[in-house]
Amino acid sequence: MSIKIMGVTVVLLMATVSAMVSGIVVFALGATVRSAVGTGGAAFLGIAALGMGVLTYLLPGTPPQG
């Protein structure tokens, strides 16, 4: 159970860092603040969704006990 929690934490941290970096890069390239925030949000959602999909594939749910 703790490996799943660690995996989710790592995926969310990676998504946060990638969103921040992509927003900063887009803003540094001359885009508006709204565009930079939108790019960061899209990067966060994309990385988090793909990461959770990979985690679900690699760590499937445990069978029900009973």
**pTM of the predicted protein model:** 0.83
Instruction: Tell me the two tokens of residue 60.
Output: 């499937």
Q: Taking Cα atoms as reference points, which of 41, 54, 53, 35 lies closest to residue 15?
A: 41
Q: With bands split at pLDDT 50, 70 and 90, how would you rate the model's confidence at 2?
A: confident
- Residues 5 and 37 sit within 8 Å (Cβ to Cβ): no
Whether residue 53 is predicted with pLDDT greater than 90 in this model: the reply is yes
Whether residue 60 is predicted with pLDDT greater than 90 in this model: the reply is no
Query: For 5-63, what is the HEC assignment?
Result: HHHHHHHHHHHHHHHHHHHHHHHHCCCCHHHHHHHHHHHHHHHHHHHHHHHHHHCCCCC
Domain coordinates in residue numbering, the chain: 10-57
Whether residue 62 is predicted with pLDDT greater than 70 in this model: the reply is no
- 20-44 pLDDT, tens digit per residue, is 999 999 999 999 999 999 999 999 9
Q: With bands split at pLDDT 50, 70 and 90, how would you rate the model's confidence at 66?
A: low
